[in-house]
Amino acid sequence: MNDYAIEIQQLTRRFGALTAVDHLDLQVSRGEIFGLVGPDGAGKTTTLRMLCGAIEPTEGTARVAGFDVVKQIEQVRVRLGYMPQAFSLYPDLSVRENLNFFADLYDVPAARRAKRMTQLLEFSRLTEFQNRRAEHLSGGMKKKLALACTLIHEPQVLLLDEPTTGVDPVSRRELWRILYDLIRERVTILVTTPYMDEAERCNRVGFLMNGRLLHIGTPTDLIQLPQRAVIELKARPRKVMQTVARQVEGIESVQIFGDRLHILATNPDAVCAQLDARLKAEGAQVLTLRTIRPSMEDVFMHLAERESEYNNG
pTM of the model: 0.86
More confident residue, 44 or 297: 44
Q: What is the average pLDDT across 96-100?
A: 96
pLDDT confidence tier of residue 159, bands split at 50, 70 and 90: very high
Q: 188-193 and 157-161: which strand pairing?
A: parallel
Q: Element (H or E) spanning 159, and its range?
A: strand 157-161
Q: Is residue 161 over pLDDT 90?
A: yes
In residues, how long is the chain? Answer: 313
By three-state DSSP, how is residue 271 classified? helix
Query: Distance (Å, rounded) from C-alpha 119 to C-alpha 148?
Result: 10
Q: What mean pLDDT is predicted for residues 22-30?
A: 96
Q: How many CA atoms lie within 13 A of 2 on its CB side?
A: 11
3-class DSSP assignment, residue 94: strand
Contact 204, 50 (CB under 8 A): no
pLDDT tens digits for range 55-92: 999 999 999 999 999 999 999 999 999 999 887 889 99
Confidence of residue 313 (pLDDT cuts 50, 70, 90): low
Please list, residue by residue across 110-140, b when 16 or more beta carbons sit within 10 angstroms of its beta carbon and e when fewer do. eeebeebbeebbebbebeebbeebbeebeeb
State the DSSP string of 27-77: EEETT-EEEEE--TTSSHHHHHHHHTTSS--SEEEEEETTEETTTTHHHHH
Residues 6+ apart with CB under 8 A from 51: 6, 8, 62, 64, 69, 80, 82, 159, 190
**End-to-end CA separation in angstroms for the chain:** 42
Residues 6+ apart with CB under 8 A from 118: 127
Q: Which domains does the chain have, with CATH numbers?
A: 4-222 (3.40.50.300), 229-293 (3.30.70.100)
Q: How far is CA 197 from the centre of its chain?
A: 9
Instruction: Print burial letters for 273-285: b (CB count within 10 Å at least 16), e (below 16).
Output: ebbeebbeeeebe
Name the residue among 5, 11, 21 with its Cα closest to residue 208: 21
Running DSSP on this structure, what letter comes out for residue 124?
T
Q: Looking at the predicted structure, is the pLDDT value of residue 176 above 80?
A: yes
Other beta carbons less than 10 A from residue 94's beta carbon: 18
Band of residue 310 on the pLDDT scale cut at 50, 70, 90: low
- Single-letter amino acid code for the residue at 195: Y
Give me the DSSP letters along 274-300.
HHHHHHHHTTPEEEEEEEEPPPHHHHH
Separation of alpha carbons 163 and 172, rounded Å: 9
Q: Is the pLDDT of residue 129 over 80?
A: yes
Q: What is the dihedral of CA 256, 262, 266, 269, to 10 degrees?
A: 130
Are the C-beta atoms of residues 165 and 10 closer than 8 Å to each other?
Answer: no
